[in-house]
Amino acid sequence: MTDELAVLGIECFAHHGVLDFERRDGQVFLIDLLLGFDTRSAAASDDLRDTVDYGSLVTSVKAAVESDPVDLIETLVQRIADVCLLDERVEWCRVTVHKPDAPIDATYSDVALTITRNREGR
């Protein structure tokens, strides 16, 4: 059994995409994280060292998103999942990358990819 921690709507500005202008001009990406881990020891100790520090995690995720442009959202979302699983307490993570300004010639509200990864299947 695991508990779940959600951090939603992490705003990042990055230069990912297949098209030249996406790489040149950049755009906003929104990241949602859902992490599964046991929070009982942290609840008992009331000590930040006994839990996943979501402030530090968000800083690491932003750095991963805002560096090294890639073509595909699939590559980016896997990169973020790998960052989430660096903390050995995290048993699994569900990561969603929203690309609200994707270059699509139609009216739409969002483009998003969600993946779930666990420690064993990284």
37-64 tens-digit pLDDT: 999 999 999 999 999 999 999 999 999 9
Helices (H), 12-70: 20-25, 40-45, 54-65
Q: Which of 62, 98, 99, 117 is catalytic?
A: 99
Q: How confident is the model at residue 34 (pLDDT cuts 50, 70, 90)?
A: very high
**pLDDT exceeds 90 at position 80:** yes
**pLDDT exceeds 90 at position 122:** no
Is 99 among the catalytic positions?
Answer: yes
Task: Let me know: does 118 contact 91? Beta carbons within 8 Å.
Answer: yes
In which residue are the tokens 């048993």 written? 91
Residues 67-72: contacts with CB under 8 Å, at least 24 apart: 69/14, 69/15, 69/16, 69/17, 69/23, 70/16, 71/16, 71/17, 71/18, 72/16, 72/18
- In the chain, the N- to C-terminal Cα span, in Å, equals 19
Model pTM score:
0.94
Look at residue 116 in the predicted model and tell me its pLDDT: 98
9, 76, 115, 32 alpha-carbon torsion, rounded to 10° = -10
- Architecture of the domain made up of 3-118: 2-Layer Sandwich (3.30)
Token pair in block for residue 103: 């270059």
Domain segments of the chain: what residues?
A: 3-118
Whole-angstrom distance, CA of residue 72 vs CA of residue 81: 15
Rg (CA), the chain: 16
